Structure 1
């Protein structure tokens, strides 16, 4: 595939903070998309589990049911990018894929704003999953194309882009969470606010897209040749998928997708697509085991067809992907069981000096990042406002709304005699700690102390486990089977800190090693396997989190969190012990 490129000299003339202005158009588009995604995610489980009575009534679902649908939603959100990336690469181009994805997500959030009707809620989740599939992979593809011939600037570009991701997550959870949890507003306004900013992000991108020149337009083809970029002639032997391979993969995909959808559907309705058993084994368990066996079979079959060196590198990727499954299964408790813990088991009502301290801290961590982002906006306006007035005006309107909501929120918090910290507030700590700590971790990776992949993964998993150990200790005073409690909020703050440090050691590293270990022509399929691992982890997060009531009733809340302590720490030690083996399998890749 050959795609035309912009005049790069002209493209890099207009710059902001040393980078092309176009990067910051992507920065703000991605920021508003992450605003909407994390804003909605922060509310979903809380809304589903909130009582059907009261000032801000929810659906009153059991926690297991709510976490089942949460797990399926986040899991599918990591599977659809495989399809969305293919459609963009082959048919419509990256830019139109971003616009289509943003439009679908806007409609999804709008649908969820009618939360009183289950049909609109489920339709909204489906549209969000499909829209995410078009949007997520193609934003990063545009960044990659912009810097294709400027690799020396690529690390800095992705760092800036990643800051946009976390700025959006921070503001989305803060404002959608506050509006959605407030009885004066309610869930519909929280879901609707996410949709408003997704719409504004889409319009800003649409009216400013000419800044990218020809980058991201509909692809043109010169045959079907893909130039290998990092493999030897011996490794370049192609092994196309046979009809048998594709048939097995199709069967796995059908079973897997059906299982993901059936899990919450069987809990919240009378419909169960796997309502049978064979030799005492339930159809639900049997089906996913069959899919797993077939997946392992086709994976081994494919790996054995490659040269020894390439086979070794692919095995190394698969080992890291296996650890990734358990990382996300634990880390994604943030939107599930940890959100429930924040809502029902944490002392969130502050008075006196505690209230004053929280108000000051909350003001600083809200206003200071927003001032910095507004400064970036001002620098972008200096370069692009005259040429792209409509897109920039839409972006300016977005910031006016954000500043208005922030001032309204802070004013209301200062006016109240008591400060009730929203349960969704704790979610912003992840983004806050990333923004604060990412530069330090990045410096370590660039220094002589840069550890091998296995130690990065091992340390990351251990830090993740320590975060849950903190929660387990903090929850030790909660009686067995208790539905509510009031433990110190500091346990959640410490837990999020350790989880974020674990994420910085693992999340940005994984895709980097995929790109280093496999040749260019295989990047897409290995990224697909990587996203599949993340999707499985997200689904496991919902399934395991859904056991919170059962484990708490039979044992204790501490026992529930200790499970997420021992498993990551054990896997972290295990992967570090594999260092000599994986070093050999990587054949010199550091």
Structure 2
């Protein structure tokens, strides 16, 4: 496919093609909408009716949250397939953005039909959007690999800028003005992202258009052979997938309907139907791995086993890390002292102003540089982008005036979620330098350090909540414990999340990357669902043993997996056969 890369690199902003910054702002608005809505979801479901919420039991909210974020990652398999085989990356992004815009619009209505419809549209929209933005970047830099790391760094900053501003502003609007405002604003900016991408898409030339049929035969290395799936293996995949998907959907439906709608309302071999279904699905998947992996040559087989180990650790990393929009946000809302007075209030207000103005100022500066290069040719796209920033500045200034009034400072529960993006932007360059230095840890040590930091963060909140008695509905724990949680968890994320896909791509042959990426995203999806299950467990544990006990359990799981990663190093190193 002709990509006309020389033309792409003719007009540059900060040393990169202007097309990268079209993607930067599109992804920024998508992350704004996703994280902005996600920050409100559990709080909306559990808020009192007179506060505009649905006053659900926490277990219901955690269950539907876990199902939602799990399906977001599972849907990337569908979106990636359609983009690769049928519609191309560019149309996949547009379809995804449109579905998400409609999804957020539905969420703003706040009736059961529209909330559930909105979540469904958001799941499929994310599936089409999420995997294909990075695919466009990969094609843009196909002939300039030396600039790819810098491009992904800039793009990653757009991701975190969107997450930061989304949580900050949607969280404020949802908590202080009304839930519809938070959900609706998320949809508004997703619409702006859609329009500015649609109107500027010609900037990418032929990149991301409908894929051409590839008739080339797969080139195999000496000793390798193709291993197509047998009918028996395809049957295992089908049964396991159907059981797993049915369980994920049935879990919140059966709880919310209080058993009225339950696909697994039966008992078999002394197991409840739902437990039997998910155990059978997992057993079948493990059986599939035992059947498939031995069919490959030794080096490929060994490296696949290493990938499976990393995926296993990944499941628990995300299950614990994703307590942020769930149990940690509820902890911030119900058990944290979020009212500051005197000098503490003044200091926070100054910090809050800086944290709002400086990032928006930097992003606006980048926007102006893009305008200089593209306004003449893509004026309408730039007008929509400029309009979105005018609205963003308006909301931000309105929020600041509201927060600066009075002698006290009240911190929104969702505000703490912004710390993750803030710490990533601050710490990512330091970790990048570390990975490029002579002290760059091996894969196992990165996972071990990441899990240890995850455990350290949970230990902080476990210590902070130690004074909360079992069954307590409210408390006034110092907010420093939540700040420490996000600080350590962000460092853990930087050790695991950015490098995981890199290891998958290095460890398996090119023809198998799609399959192994599928297994990796399946691992994340399982972790996301487990995050909801852990959140559900927190409510019962808090009643009987205390909330601190729950956080100590997560600490123990994290530290155990950190130790396991260290212990497994000699074995995994051998299995990786020289891959670093």
TM-score, normalisation: structure 2: 0.99
Cα distance in 2 between the residues matched to 1:227 and 1:123: 45
Question: Which residue number in structure 1 is paired with residue 510 of structure 2?
Answer: 520
Cα distance in 2 between the residues matched to 1:202 and 1:244: 43
Question: Which residue number in structure 2 is paired with residue 196 of structure 1?
Answer: 188
CA displacement 1:222-279 (0-9 Å, x = unmatched): 3264567xxx3323x1111122211111111111111001000010002111011123
The unaligned stretches of length 5 or more in structure 1 are none
- The range that moved more, 413-422 or 381-390, is 413-422
Cα distance in 2 between the residues matched to 1:65 and 1:225: 50
SS in 1 for 2:207: coil
**Does residue 240 of structure 1 match 2:237?**
no
**Does residue 373 of structure 1 match 2:348?**
no
Question: Which residue number in structure 1 is paired with residue 565 of structure 2?
Answer: 575
CA displacement 1:405-431 (0-9 Å, x = unmatched): 111100111113332111000000000
Question: Which residue number in structure 2 is paired with residue 153 of structure 1?
Answer: 147
Cα offset, 1:293, TM superposition: 0.6
Cα offset, 1:8, TM superposition: 1.2
Question: Which residue number in structure 2 is paired with residue 310 of structure 1?
Answer: 300
Cα distance in 1 between the residues matched to 2:77 and 2:521: 8
Structure 1 counterpart of 2:62, from 59, 67, 87: 67
- The range that moved more, 214-223 or 411-420, is 411-420
Equivalent residues of 1:346, 1:487 under 8 A apart: yes
Cα distance in 2 between the residues matched to 1:416 and 1:238: 70
Equivalent residues of 1:330, 1:541 under 8 A apart: yes
The unaligned stretches of length 5 or more in structure 2 are none
CA displacement 1:301-355 (0-9 Å, x = unmatched): 1101100000000000000000000000000000110010000000011222121
Question: Which residue number in structure 2 is paired with residue 37 of structure 1?
Answer: 34
Cα offset, 1:469, TM superposition: 0.1
Cα distance in 2 between the residues matched to 1:467 and 1:363: 27
SS in 1 for 2:474: coil
Cα offset, 1:473, TM superposition: 0.3
Equivalent residues of 1:227, 1:520 under 8 A apart: no
Question: Which residue number in structure 1 is paired with residue 501 of structure 2?
Answer: 511
Cα distance in 2 between the residues matched to 1:534 and 1:89: 21
SS in 1 for 2:470: coil
CA displacement 1:509-566 (0-9 Å, x = unmatched): 1000001011111111100000000000000000011111210111111101001101
| Alignment CA distance shift 1:416-1:225 (3 Å) | farther
Describe how 1:60-139 pairs up with structure 2 within 5 A.
60-115=55-110, 117-139=111-133
SS in 2 for 1:477: coil
**Does residue 206 of structure 1 match 2:198?**
yes
Equivalent residues of 1:481, 1:549 under 8 A apart: no
Question: Which residue number in structure 1 is paired with residue 490 of structure 2?
Answer: 500
Cα distance in 1 between the residues matched to 2:568 and 2:537: 31
| Alignment CA distance shift 1:74-1:19 (3 Å) | same
Structure 1 counterpart of 2:577, from 556, 565, 587: 587
**Does residue 541 of structure 1 match 2:535?**
no
SS in 1 for 2:323: helix
| Alignment CA distance shift 1:222-1:57 (3 Å) | closer
Cα distance in 1 between the residues matched to 2:313 and 2:357: 37
- The range that moved more, 366-375 or 208-217, is 366-375
Question: Which residue number in structure 2 is paired with residue 216 of structure 1?
Answer: 208
CA displacement 1:488-527 (0-9 Å, x = unmatched): 1111001100000000000001000001011111111100
SS in 2 for 1:398: helix
| Alignment CA distance shift 1:350-1:226 (3 Å) | farther
CA displacement 1:5-32 (0-9 Å, x = unmatched): 3211111111111111101110100000
